[in-house]
Amino acid sequence: MKKIIFLAAIVLIILGVSSCSKFLQEKPMTQLSTATYYKTLQDAQGAINAIYGPIRSDGVFQRQYMQLADIPSDYAYGRGSTAPAGNYQLLDQVNISRVATVWNGLYQAINYANIAIEQIPNITSIAPAIRTELVSEAKFLRAYCYFHLVINWGAVPLYLSTTHTVTKRMPVQDVYTAIVADLDSGEQFLPPVPAEEGRPTNWAAKSFLSLVYLFMGQWDSAANNAQQVIEKGPYSLVQVHQPDDFNNIFGPSANGTSEEIFYLKYNHVNGQGWEWPLNLLWTSSQYAPFGNYVVYEEPNNPFITSWNNNDLRKQFDLFTEYINPATGLVNQLTFPPMLCSKFRDPGATGTAGFANDYPFLRYADVLLIYAEANDMANSGPSSLAIESLNEVKRRGYGYPSNSPSPVDYTSSGWTQQSFRDSVLQERAYEQFMEAKRWQDLKRTGTAAEIILQNKGIKLNPDFLLWPIPQQEIDANPQIGQSNQNPGY
């Protein structure tokens, strides 16, 4: 219920039908940075809610970003117009337009965040501590946007206030510095428990920091932040005994579990739901009444064949046959031959009515971040790093996560590289179809090798970064064609 209320508030704000104001109805957001609008706590909360709108939209994390970020993974294939997103050459014009939509959505959210960050401190009717907390939430969301910009485009314009009209592409390090500063604020001032599920906490900020430092290659900082979450945070793995128990983590009713750190929230109201599951599923099956199988898997792909069949995650995440709801008969998939059922929702109300949430950060992620970062920082894993990796694997096979099991990784004999390889493979299984695998291949410099190994395709290095949108080049005098990413 809290999820529906939170999302409804966002929709009302974006549509400009909030009871407190005609938000965005008469003026564009860039003209709302005046004290005439920001007077009450309700106004401030509305400004925060508005930031979520572009992030959750169809052009970004509701569907399009997920396609563009997961189809290049070594286990996924795109169908129809999405196929060039996974051919590892250069994007065609259709997909160039799609990445431009992602760019626009993220910068729209950044603009909303900057307005909130500047205006909320001026609302004197709100207690100072509440003002600071709200500003920190806006900064967390701004960091979320810049993180996804920098990992996909590299150097990008960096807007940290509403006074900048245009800016050149800033170095990657500068963007990461801004992200860290925003998350430091969140760690210091966000609450330890969310007022509503789907809002960030100080633990979410610390977990996000560990991920950012992992991408920066600052291993000690990544490991230290992750270890603090592991040892002092309020999280634990949801236990699994059979494949369908993963519904307690990824299903439409899972909300505020012990594993949830920061998720984008969706619900059954068609248009407010997640569309990504639609792209993964068959047209109609026991998993959902809707599907268009835009993204599929090949059973003979080495990633799939080497994935142990006893792993309950594989059993839950993938299917080659389905129950036809009209006949009750079991049908075999032909094309595509294999699909993903990880985000299943039999109660989906429409093509954009899946109530599964996007699990951007969960406790399993933090355990794996710690395992990798500790190994890289110390030229080999500590006992806690090995245990963190084992906890995730045990749960994946249905064993209690905190007790030794027959599937445990060995406690000795590791090199730095062999342990990291095992962590990256475990991340691939655990985070299957969560738009994280391709980023792992890029940041570790293994994309070309792994894509050739599992898909037999030679990767063009220019494919690793998305093109700067042409409208940005045309409108921004500090970015010319010579500043475009290579190949475009």
So what's the pLDDT on residue 66? 98
Asked whether the beta carbons of 46 and 24 are under 8 A apart, the reply is no
Q: Which residue reads 């900048």 in tokens?
A: 164
When pLDDT is cut at 50, 70 and 90, the band that residue 3 belongs to is low
296 lies in the same domain as 411: no
Residues 328 and 421 reside in one and the same domain: no
Beta bridge partners of 318: 340
Q: Which residues contact 382 (CB under 8 A, 6 or more apart)?
A: 374
Per-residue pLDDT tens digits for 269-318: 999 999 999 999 999 999 999 999 999 999 999 999 999 999 999 999 99
Name the CA dihedral angle for 116, 31, 145, 41, rounded to a multiple of 10 degrees: 20
Q: Is residue 486 part of a domain?
A: no
pLDDT for position 12? 47
Per-residue model confidence (pLDDT) at position 353: 98
* Residue 484 forms part of a structural domain: no
**Last-in-domain residue among 170, 190, 210:** 190
DSSP state, residue 328: -
Q: For residues 68 and 65, what is the distance between their CA atoms, to the nearest angstrom? A: 5
Q: Is residue 449 part of a domain?
A: yes
Residues 89 and 120 in one domain: yes
| Length reported for the chain | 488
Answer whether residue 485 is part of any domain: no
Same domain for 290 and 397?
no
Which of the listed residues 147, 165, 190 is the one where a domain comes to its end?
190
The answer to whether residue 227 is domain-embedded is yes
4 has a pLDDT exceeding 80: no
d(CA 199, CA 326) in angstroms, rounded, equals: 40
From 142, 160, 190, the end of a domain falls on: 190
Contact predicate 55/139, CB 8 Å: no
Give the chain's domain count: 3
Q: Are strands 358-362 and 260-264 parallel, antiparallel or unpaired?
A: antiparallel
pLDDT tier for residue 2 given thresholds of 50, 70 and 90: very low
Select from 199, 182, 109 the least CA-distant residue to 140.
182
Band (pLDDT 50/70/90 cuts) for residue 21 is: very low
Q: What's the predicted TM-score (pTM) here?
A: 0.94
| Structure token digits, residue 470 | 């042409």
Q: Is the pLDDT of residue 23 over 50?
A: no
Query: What was the pLDDT predicted at 386?
Result: 98
Convert the pLDDT of each residue in 417-461 to its tens digit: 999 999 999 999 999 999 999 999 999 999 999 999 999 999 999
Q: What are phi and psi of 386, to 5 degrees?
A: -65, -40
442 and 302 within one domain: no
Answer yes or no: do 214 and 351 share one domain.
Answer: no
Cis bond before residue 336 (omega within 30° of 0): yes
Return the higher-pLDDT residue of 218 and 12.
218
Among 232, 229, 223, which Cα is nearest to 207's? 229
Residue partners of 363: CB distance under 8 A and separation at least 6: 229, 233, 235, 236, 237, 258, 259, 260, 261
Indicate whether 143 belongs to any domain: yes
Query: What CATH number is attached to the domain comprising 440?
Result: 1.25.40.900
Residue 60: closest CA among 51, 72, 47, 49 = 51
Token pair belonging to 422: 């095992």
CATH code of the domain containing 31: 1.25.40.390
Residue 160 sits in the same domain as residue 16: yes
What value does the mean pLDDT of the chain take? 93
What is the pLDDT averaged over residues 40-68? Answer: 97
Residues 126 and 31 in one domain: yes
Burial of residue 475 (CB within 10 Å: 0-12, 13-18, 19+) is exposed
Same domain, 36 and 94: yes
Residues 244-259: pLDDT tens digits? 999 999 999 999 999 9
Question: Is residue 466 assigned to a domain?
Answer: no
In this structure, are 298 and 212 located in the same domain? no
Distance between CA atoms of 238 and 430, rounded to whole angstroms?
13
* 8 Å CB contact between 156 and 168: no
C-alpha–C-alpha distance, residues 212 and 219, integer Å:
10
Residue 452: inside a domain, yes or no? yes
Provide the pLDDT for residue 6: 58
pLDDT at position 301 is 98
Do 285 and 318 share a structural domain? yes
Structural domain including 369 reads 196-264+363-460
Say if residue 242 is in the same domain as residue 320.
no
